[in-house]
């Protein structure tokens, strides 16, 4: 497994929180190791500042919002949405340091139910975040969940798109692990994404499959990675479709924020779908968090990573290449070491699940 690219990823958009989490109080988040405070300005737009008061280094996320500005909890120093110091309580008259002191501000916007930030003082590498095209579309039911996973961005992304582990870690929820079903998968790499199309896959025999299609049948299954940090797991069978869209955000070393949206389309009413989907999604994420934590602890115990891959690790190499390209894009190089080669050609593999 290739080392995870670093500095260039800071110029990309990352999901910092659910839009609904950002209301009247400031919110602290760490994105790519940078502590940020998030709040809304007077117009309701999201703002991201460095989470440190310029006066005495207290976290601004402990403060409160007043008229679209942010007031420090310690001495009341108040900052505008652009980070400029607006007010120092107790000064006999307006004057220095007001207007001259500034807390670093970072690009922030609200899109697809999430607040996205660019944790860099350099301009964003891309104008907009990756669109979450399946989330909250008309005629669907979307259930959202936020969690924090142990492990790197690379490990978390591969986990989300790894089919074989679902038969073992999530046994009974997805697949049985019998290995009796032969199917083909076509991998389609692109400049900023990769897709794996599974052909001939029967309906998974676990609980999720029985909910998706109680009558059985053959599934249309596509897994996608959209660099630098969005995955889509897309199942369709007849009138039913289930898409799990996940935005991954490196927080601090060894921790990754996850904002997942499970979108369901079908004849079942939303009032019935939500109580079924939410506990299932929570259980699956907890199982993934546990195994990723065990993986990370064992890597630390042995002093580093060592990997052997097989044809079943369908998207691992493409994930590495796309993260390297995204890092190079953020560094303004256009390509990174090992990423100058074009994407591998489309290929078809035979698997058993």
DSSP symbols for 2-44: PPPP-GGGGGS-EEEEEGGG-SSS-EEEEETTEEEEEEE-TTS
pLDDT at 126 > cutoff 80: yes
Mean pLDDT of the 10-33 span: 96
Task: Decide if 127 is inside a domain.
Answer: no
Task: Decide if 128 is inside a domain.
Answer: no
In this prediction, residue 342 has a pLDDT band, given cuts at 50, 70 and 90, of low
In this prediction, residue 170 has a pLDDT band, given cuts at 50, 70 and 90, of confident
Task: Decide if 122 is inside a domain.
Answer: no
Share of the chain above pLDDT 70, in %: 88
Return the CATH number at 157: 3.90.380.10
Please tell me whether residues 196 and 340 are part of one structural domain.
yes
Q: Sheet holding 46-50: strands in order across? A: 27-31, 34-40, 46-50, 105-106
Please tell me whether residues 209 and 102 are part of one structural domain.
no
pLDDT at 11 > cutoff 70: yes
Please tell me whether residues 103 and 163 are part of one structural domain.
no
Domain count, the chain: 2
Task: Decide if 123 is inside a domain.
Answer: no
- Identify whether the C-beta of residue 76 lies closer than 8 Å to the C-beta of residue 85: no
Q: What is the pLDDT of residues 33-74, one digit of tens each?
A: 999 999 999 999 999 999 999 999 999 999 999 999 999 999
pLDDT at 179: 55
pLDDT at 174: 64
In this prediction, residue 166 has a pLDDT band, given cuts at 50, 70 and 90, of confident
pLDDT at 215: 64
pTM: 0.90
Please tell me whether residues 161 and 76 are part of one structural domain.
no
Packing angle, helices 316-330 and 153-160, rounded to 10: 140
Task: Decide if 92 is inside a domain.
Answer: yes
Among 82, 101, 117, identify where a domain stops. 117
Q: Which comes out higher in pLDDT, residue 252 or 193?
A: 193
pLDDT at 32 > cutoff 90: yes
pLDDT at 274 > cutoff 90: no
Please tell me whether residues 204 and 316 are part of one structural domain.
yes
Domain that holds residue 237: 141-352
Please tell me whether residues 161 and 31 are part of one structural domain.
no
In this prediction, residue 2 has a pLDDT band, given cuts at 50, 70 and 90, of very low
Instruction: Residue 182: count other Cβ atoms within 10 Å of its Cβ.
Output: 11
Please tell me whether residues 13 and 86 are part of one structural domain.
yes
Please tell me whether residues 211 and 321 are part of one structural domain.
yes
pLDDT at 336 > cutoff 50: no
Mean pLDDT of the 108-125 span: 97
Please tell me whether residues 85 and 152 are part of one structural domain.
no
pLDDT at 340: 46
Mean pLDDT of the 215-234 span: 90
Task: Decide if 130 is inside a domain.
Answer: no
Q: What is the pLDDT of residues 201-220, one digit of tens each?
A: 776 666 666 665 566 667 88
Please tell me whether residues 102 and 69 are part of one structural domain.
yes
* C-alpha angle 81-83-86 in degrees, rounded to nearest 5: 85
Share of the chain above pLDDT 90, in %: 63
Q: What is the pLDDT of residues 176-195, one digit of tens each?
A: 555 567 789 999 999 999 99
Mean pLDDT of the 24-40 span: 97
Tell me the pLDDT of the chain averaged across its residues.
88
Task: Decide if 126 is inside a domain.
Answer: no
Structure-block tokens of residue 326 = 């995204």
Task: Decide if 132 is inside a domain.
Answer: no
Please tell me whether residues 154 and 222 are part of one structural domain.
yes
pLDDT at 275: 79
Mean pLDDT of the 133-159 span: 92
Strand partners, 88: none
Please tell me whether residues 80 and 224 are part of one structural domain.
no
pLDDT at 288: 95
Return the CATH number at 37: 2.102.10.10
**Lowest-confidence region among 134-143, 150-159, 263-272:** 263-272
């Amino acid at each position: 497994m290739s080392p995870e690219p670093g500095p260039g990823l800071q110029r990309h958009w990352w999901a910092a929180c659910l839009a609904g989490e950002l209301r009247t109080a400031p919110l602290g988040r760490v994105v790519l190791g940078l502590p940020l405070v998030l709040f809304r300005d007077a117009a309701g737009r999201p703002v991201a500042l460095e989470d440190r008061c310029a006066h005495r280094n207290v976290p601004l996320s402990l403060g409160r919002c007043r008229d679209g500005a942010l007031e420090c909890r310690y001495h009341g120093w108040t900052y505008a949405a652009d980070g400029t110091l607006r007010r120092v309580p107790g000064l006999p008259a307006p004057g220095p340091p007001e207007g001259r002191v500034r807390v670093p501000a970072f690009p922030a916007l609200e899109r697809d139910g999430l607040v996205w930030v660019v944790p860099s003082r350099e301009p964003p590498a891309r104008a907009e975040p990756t669109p979450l095209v399946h989330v909250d579309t008309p005629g669907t039911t979307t259930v959202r969940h936020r969690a924090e996973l142990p492990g790197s961005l690379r490990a978390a992304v591969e986990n989300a798109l790894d089919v074989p582990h679902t038969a073992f870690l999530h046994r009974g929820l997805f697949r049985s692990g019998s290995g009796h079903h032969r199917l083909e998968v076509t991998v389609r790499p692109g400049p900023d994404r990769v897709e794996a199309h599974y052909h001939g896959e029967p309906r998974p025999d676990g609980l999720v499959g029985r909910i998706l299609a109680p009558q059985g049948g053959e599934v249309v299954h596509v897994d996608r990675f959209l660099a630098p940090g969005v995955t889509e797991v897309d199942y369709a069978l007849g009138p039913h479709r289930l898409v799990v869209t996940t935005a991954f955000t490196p927080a601090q070393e060894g921790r990754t924020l996850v904002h997942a949206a499970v979108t369901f389309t079908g004849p079942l009413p939303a009032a019935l779908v939500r109580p079924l989907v939410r506990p299932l999604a929570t259980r699956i994420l907890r199982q993934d968090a546990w195994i990723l934590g065990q993986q990370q602890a064992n890597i630390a115990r042995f002093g580093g990573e060592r990997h052997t891959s097989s044809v079943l690790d369908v998207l691992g190499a493409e994930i590495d290449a796309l993260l390297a390209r995204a890092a190079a894009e953020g560094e303004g190089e256009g390509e990174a070491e090992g990423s100058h080669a074009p994407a591998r050609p489309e290929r078809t593999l035979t698997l058993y699940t």
